[in-house]
Chains A and B, each alone.
Chain A
Amino acid sequence: MSAVLPELSYAPAPESTAPVTLRECYGLFIGGEWTASEDGSFFSTQNPATEEKLAEVTQAGPADVDRAVRAARRGYEKYWRKLRPAERAKYVYRIARALTERSREFAILETMDGGKPIRESRDFDVPQAAAHFFYHAGWADKLVWAVQGTDRCRPLGVVGAIVPWNFPLLIAAWKIAPALACGNTIVLKPAETTPLTALLFAQVCAEADLPPGVVNIVTGDGRTGAALAEHPDIDKVSFTGSTEVGKSIRRIVAGTPKRLSLELGGKSAFIVYDDAPLDQTIEGIVSAIFFNQGHVCCAGSRLLVQESIAEEVIERLRTRIATLRHGDPLDKNTDVGAINSRAQRDKIVELVQSGVEDGATLVQADWTPPERGFWYPASFFTNVAPTFRIAREEIFGPVLSVMTFRTPDEAIERANNLPYGLSAGVWTSNGALGMYTASHLAAGVIWCNTFNQFDPSSPFGGYKESGFGREGGIAGLRAYLDV
């Protein structure tokens, strides 16, 4: 019946970079102005998919951090604390609208600087970032309703925020939006490998006529972050990043009156019972571990599957990863983009090697990466023992460890048997079993029959070495208020 029909394959569908205008070099955004650093040193930021240099960015030293904190203090005393809350809300709304209006530009820039698929920056990062500003703008003049049992709810003052490279704009929004809505001013330090959307955000603040010093952006590496956390005139440190750095920040803050929120690493469990909706479970696993190349603190990187269906799940997962589309992050059909940096790629390679040496079986998507850029194919390990490094350490890459369990209590015990406790997933058609499991898991966020669902009204944060303090929702507001 069918004559010669053409074979379908998607043509390349790259997003144009035309909406993005990069400067050759960026200064520090302090007191509403672009300023040079004291010692004039720069570093470059590159596109991890091509290794091309995108721009030169200023390395802020302690003197620059001091200037930024002083500007934030001035902004707080002179403008922001005096402003009526409803007026504050207008500024926050204005930022939300600007993010929405310029969403395409932000999404493309985020993908160029960080390597994540444009589909994700377009459909997740930027809309979520805007949603956080919209949500918190609404709270600005209603804060007394957010705290029960007291009518005292004052801003803290100056917030020092340090954000990671996996969701650069979004996590900055998680901190800036509540900080501003609650009446604080802020100094933000974006990650060294992904500073560009924060710098574009500085432009948005300037165009929104935000009073000088309310939002300040200082770029640099870990030394800049340390200088910010150490600064004596900071009232609060909010950090998202690795557990190792989180611990050092906690040491810095210890013995000072500074408040602290930490959102750190994880090795979250994804529990699949034998009555789970299997096809959706497979999609859940794909989202849990391959979303943003696995560069997700709440990634479901430990798959705990009931032994009676383990073979079936593994077989379906093997088939599914073969259909993931790896490659150019700017292509609208790409599912798995570039690894954020050479260092991160090397770390993934090293941990995968340890898994192989420990005796686990590696299954990888059959894909040959381009010569330039940093890449890692979607992968999972079977035959993983809970003692292996790949079952205990955060890989922060597209690598899943599959283990089995026999009973609900064994699943719970396995899931909790780590120093981390950020998120968990529970998959079952039995509502009671889902609730039982969730109520026994020590994790800040538990998704049932889904994964990676976020909303500004829902608090996010960890247990144990995954940190403390919540972001989003009413619980998140308290982190920026003196109650």
Chain B
Amino acid sequence: MGSAGYPQRTKEVFLGGAQAREAEQPSIRMRLAPVSVDAVMLESRALQLSKRSIKAGAKRTAIDLIVACMDLTTLEGKDTPGKVYGVCARGIAPAPGVPSVAAICVYPSLVAGACAALADSGVRVASVATAFPSGLASLDVKLRDTREALAAGADEIDMVIDRGAFLAGRYGAVQAEIEAVKSVCGRSPLKVILEVGELGSYAAIRRASDLALDAGADFIKTATGKLSVSSTPPIALLMCEAIRDHARNTGRKAGLKFAGGIRTTKAALGYLSIVFETLGSEWLVPERLRFGASSLLDDLLMQREKGESGSYAGAAYVATA
């Protein structure tokens, strides 16, 4: 094969570029110990946990927990102040007797409107930032994005990692970026979105989780919700294990946010069991657990109603935003 037809220089030029970047930032090329995750037992344990039977009183408790730990989300190009107003109102009072959600999650430009709508309800405002969802912008742009969201009143920031840098092995760059965003956030919680569907393997997801936790992430979050592969039970289990080990090694109990593709109560209960049996009930609080979802709330309210009245009310009886 050799270099037939291809200019020899291409590779060198490319490496030269990488080396130049490395020279700017010495920590870029971090050597990490190998991470080993085996799919078969990971998936079998996750399946076992997501099949736990949560019935009767436990189901009602669990539904209320999931609502209280929810980041009710709207992240569409067509979002408007009017839409956000509706989502906020629903998040404050989803249905009679149901707790408020933990936060409303929106784009930075809609943060101010969300803050006004939520006022002193106790529901927080979470903003995506750092060139969500691709994360492909300069660090300066990402930090400005973050500052603006915070200045507009965001209580929490959901950032995306630079998957390109991660997959190229520039772990130091990924870590440095998270640290920089965290320092802008100060005491405001930072959720770090790994976008697991782009990482390609369980071992990479575990590595990214460890990296984000070491860099000071307050939460690690599965996905942007923009891909077809986002949260799955084995990935949830894997990330719980990373958080558990981080807590064991450092004493810091970081949180976990599931996002993308969780639309039914049954699926959400499966994730709850995974957290419950891997991390324990200490993690079943909004400070450490979030479900990022837009449509999940509908099914939770229908299932809750079914538990009380014995029959399904139908979608038309659940007020959506």
Identify the A interface with B (CB < 8 A): 1-3, 5-11, 13, 119, 275-281, 283-284, 287, 323, 332-333, 429, 449-451, 453
Closest to B102 in A: A1
Measured CA separation A284–B45 after assembly (Å): 9
Asked whether B53 lies within 8 Å of A449 as measured between CB atoms, the reply is: no
* 17 further interface pairs, Cβ-Cβ under 8 Å (given A2-B68, A2-B285, A119-B51): A1-B122, A1-B286, A7-B284, A8-B62, A8-B65, A8-B276, A11-B58, A276-B36, A279-B238, A283-B41, A283-B44, A287-B41, A323-B277, A332-B52, A333-B52, A429-B36, A429-B38
Contacting residues, chain A, for B78 (C-beta < 8 A): none
Measured CA separation A370–B38 after assembly (Å): 37
Closest to B62 in A: A8
B65 in complex: contacting residue of A6, A279, A281, A449, CB < 8 Å: A6
Taken residue by residue from 45 to 64, chain B's Cβ proximity to chain A (1 for < 8 Å, 0 otherwise) reads as 10010011111111101101
What is the distance, in angstroms, from A108's C-beta to the closest C-beta of chain B? 14
- A sample of 23 inter-chain contacts (CB < 8 A) reads A1-B102, A2-B286, A5-B68, A5-B284, A6-B61, A7-B61, A7-B281, A7-B284, A8-B272, A8-B284, A10-B53, A11-B57, A13-B54, A119-B48, A119-B51, A275-B34, A277-B36, A280-B37, A283-B45, A333-B52, A449-B40, A451-B41, A453-B40
Main SS at interface, chain A? loop
Number of A-B contacts (CB under 8 A): 90
Contacting residues, chain A, for B37 (C-beta < 8 A): 277, 279-280
B52 in complex: contacting residue of A10, A278, A453, CB < 8 Å: A10
Say yes or no: A280-B40 contact (C-beta < 8 A), given A10-B54, A11-B58. Answer: yes
Closest to B45 in A: A283
Asked whether B52 lies within 8 Å of A449 as measured between CB atoms, the reply is: no
Measured CA separation A134–B279 after assembly (Å): 41
B198 within 8 A of A: no
What is the distance, in angstroms, from A465's C-beta to the closest C-beta of chain B? 29
- Tell me the count of chain B residues lying within 8 A, CB to CB, of chain A: 38
B124 within 8 A of A: yes
Asked whether A8 lies within 8 Å of B36 as measured between CB atoms, the reply is: no
Asked whether B38 lies within 8 Å of A280 as measured between CB atoms, the reply is: yes
Say yes or no: A450-B38 contact (C-beta < 8 A), given A6-B64, A6-B65, A10-B54. Answer: yes
Asked whether B99 lies within 8 Å of A10 as measured between CB atoms, the reply is: no
Closest to B64 in A: A6
Contacting residues, chain A, for B38 (C-beta < 8 A): 277, 280, 429, 449-450
Closest to B54 in A: A10
B180 within 8 A of A: no
B179 within 8 A of A: no
What is the distance, in angstroms, from B311's C-beta to the closest C-beta of chain A? 20
Asked whether A333 lies within 8 Å of B286 as measured between CB atoms, the reply is: no
What is the distance, in angstroms, from A107's C-beta to the closest C-beta of chain B? 14
Contacting residues, chain B, for A10 (C-beta < 8 A): 52-54, 58
What is the distance, in angstroms, from A213's C-beta to the closest C-beta of chain B? 41
What is the distance, in angstroms, from A338's C-beta to the closest C-beta of chain B? 19
B305 within 8 A of A: no
B241 within 8 A of A: yes
Contacting residues, chain B, for A284 (C-beta < 8 A): 41
B42 in complex: contacting residue of A7, A276, A280, CB < 8 Å: A280
What is the distance, in angstroms, from A137's C-beta to the closest C-beta of chain B? 27
What is the distance, in angstroms, from A165's C-beta to the closest C-beta of chain B? 24
Measured CA separation A275–B54 after assembly (Å): 37
B287 within 8 A of A: yes
Asked whether A3 lies within 8 Å of B99 as measured between CB atoms, the reply is: yes
Measured CA separation A283–B41 after assembly (Å): 7
